[in-house]
Amino acid sequence: MNKDYYKILNINRGATKDEVKKSFRTLSKQHHPDKGGDENLFKQMSEAYDVLSNDNKRREYDTRGQNPFHHQGGGGSNMDDLFNQFFRNQPNQHRQQDNVGRSLNIPLSITLDDVFFGATKRLKYSRHINCLSCHGFGGTTQICPACTGRGFHERMVGNAFIRQIRKELCNTCAGAGNMITNTCNTCNGKAQNKVDAFIDFAIPTNLMPGQSFTFRNMGDESPKSQPGHLTVQVMVETHKVFKLIGKDLIYEPEINFVDVILGGKIVIPYFNTNLNIDIPPFSEVGQDFIVRGKGMPRSNEIDGNIVVQPIIKTPIKLNNRETELLNSLKEEENFKREI
C-alpha cells in the first residue's frame, strides 16, 4: 500500500505532469509485459502513473502517503488501458471494443463524521467474472469445422460483370469460430460466474456531496473483451446538526429576539466537542455569523467555515410577568412606536 510512486517512476517529488508522463512513457516501453517486461513491475508503474498524473489523486497521495483510490485485487488501474493511451496507433492493436463487460453502479451512504474524520469503507458488491475453470470459454472448445474458426463463410455473388465476395455468418458456431464440446460444470456453459467482490474506498478529504468515483475495470468482466467499470456514487447522509454546502457547514440555531438585541452565547455541537460563539448585541435579523476554518478540513486549500444562520423564534405564549414586562417596554424610549 505505501509504495513510493515517485521512486517507481524514477522522478523527484516536484516533477511536473509532463515529466510524469514522459517517464511513464519511457519506462512502460521498456517494461510492458507484451514486450517481455515484468508484469508486476509494470502494474506498479501503471498504478503510480494513474495517481501522479491526476491532480486530485496526487494531492491525496502526497498528504496521506498512499493511494486513496487503491482497491483490492489489482493495481490502481488497468495497465492495458494506460498503455493504450500512449500507443493507440500501434499496428499490433487487436483489442476488441465491443462485448465490453457491463459497468456497475453502487451507492455508498456515508456520514458527515466519516468525511470530517476520514474513513475507509469496505464495499461489497456482486460482479461477473470469467469462469476460472473454463477460462471464460464455457467448456472445452474445438475450432468450428464448418468455418475453420473464422466465424463466417465467404460466398461469391454477382454476375458475369460484377462479382463480390459476401461474408455470411457461420450458422454452425453462430460466428464464434469455435464450438463447445464439453460444457463446463462450474458455469454451466455461461463462461462466467457471479462472485462477491470488495473494494476499500478511502473517503477523500475534499469530497463533495453527490460526487461519484469510477474504478476502471472493476465492473463485470467480459469473456471477449475488457471489463466494465465500477462507479461508486457517494451520498452524505443528512446530519443532525449541520448542512453541508461545498466545504462549509451550515448551522441554524434557534434564538429569540432578545438575543438579537442584547447578544448572547451559542453552543454549537461540533462533532465530538462543543464550540462556543458569541452573538454580538444589536445584530441584524437574517445576519450570518462565520466561524472561520471550522468547516470541512481540506489538505491543500483553506478549510471550510461554519456559517451560523440563526432562526429567530418568537414565543407563542407568555406568562403574566412576561406580558407585563413587554407592555412596559413599549412605553420606553427605544420601543415607542410612532403611530
Listed ranges 11-19, 58-66, 74-82, 164-172: which one lies at the site for Zn ion (CB under 5 A): 164-172
Asked if residues 2 and 8 have their Cβ atoms less than 8 Å apart, the reply is no
Q: Is 187 in the site for Zn ion (CB under 5 A)?
A: yes
Among 8, 9, 11, 170, binds Zn ion (CB under 5 A): 170
Rounded Cα gap, residues 148 and 169, in angstroms:
13
Number of H helices, E strands in the chain: 8, 17
Output the smallest distance, CB 176 to Zn ion, in A: 7
Listed ranges 64-72, 187-195, 215-223, 238-246: which one lies at the site for Zn ion (CB under 5 A): 187-195
CB of 196 or CB of 338, closer to Zn ion: 196
Q: Is 147 in the site for Zn ion (CB under 5 A)?
A: yes
What phi, psi does 217 have (nearest 5°)?
65, 15
Radius of gyration of the chain (CA): 32
Listed ranges 185-193, 241-249, 277-285, 323-331: which one lies at the site for Zn ion (CB under 5 A): 185-193
Q: What interhelical angle do 39-52 and 17-31 show, nearest 10? A: 170
Q: Is 221 in the site for Zn ion (CB under 5 A)?
A: no
Strands (E) across 8-151 are located at 104-110, 120-130, 139-143
Output the smallest distance, CB 237 to Zn ion, in A: 41
CB of 53 or CB of 193, closer to Zn ion: 193
Output the smallest distance, CB 210 to Zn ion, in A: 40
CB of 190 or CB of 298, closer to Zn ion: 190
Q: Is 178 in the site for Zn ion (CB under 5 A)?
A: no
User: 10 Å Cβ neighbour count for 305?
Assistant: 20
Q: Which residues from 112-131 bind Zn ion, rule CB under 5 A?
A: 131
Three-state SS string over 278-299 comes to EECCCCCCCCCEEECCCCCCCC
CB of 128 or CB of 294, closer to Zn ion: 128
CB of 111 or CB of 172, closer to Zn ion: 172
Q: Is 307 in the site for Zn ion (CB under 5 A)?
A: no
CB of 186 or CB of 225, closer to Zn ion: 186
280 to 270, 290, 293: CA distances (angstroms): 21, 12, 20
Listed ranges 163-171, 194-202, 267-275, 306-314: which one lies at the site for Zn ion (CB under 5 A): 163-171
Q: Is 183 in the site for Zn ion (CB under 5 A)?
A: no
CB of 153 or CB of 243, closer to Zn ion: 153
Quick check: helix, strand or coil at residue 91? coil
Task: Find all residues with CB under 8 Å of 87, minimum gap 6, and list them.
Answer: 93
Rounded Cα gap, residues 77 and 85, in angstroms:
12
133 to 60, 173, 185, 187: CA distances (angstroms): 39, 22, 8, 8
Output the smallest distance, CB 145 to Zn ion, in A: 8
Among 48, 112, 173, 232, binds Zn ion (CB under 5 A): 173
Q: Is 172 in the site for Zn ion (CB under 5 A)?
A: yes
Q: Is 144 in the site for Zn ion (CB under 5 A)?
A: yes
Rounded Cα gap, residues 238 and 260, in angstroms:
28
Rounded Cα gap, residues 261 and 137, in angstroms:
78
Among 103, 186, 206, 225, binds Zn ion (CB under 5 A): 186
Q: What's 300's DSSP letter?
A: S
Give contact residues for Zn ion (rule: CB under 5 A): 131, 133-134, 144, 146-147, 170, 172-173, 184, 186-187
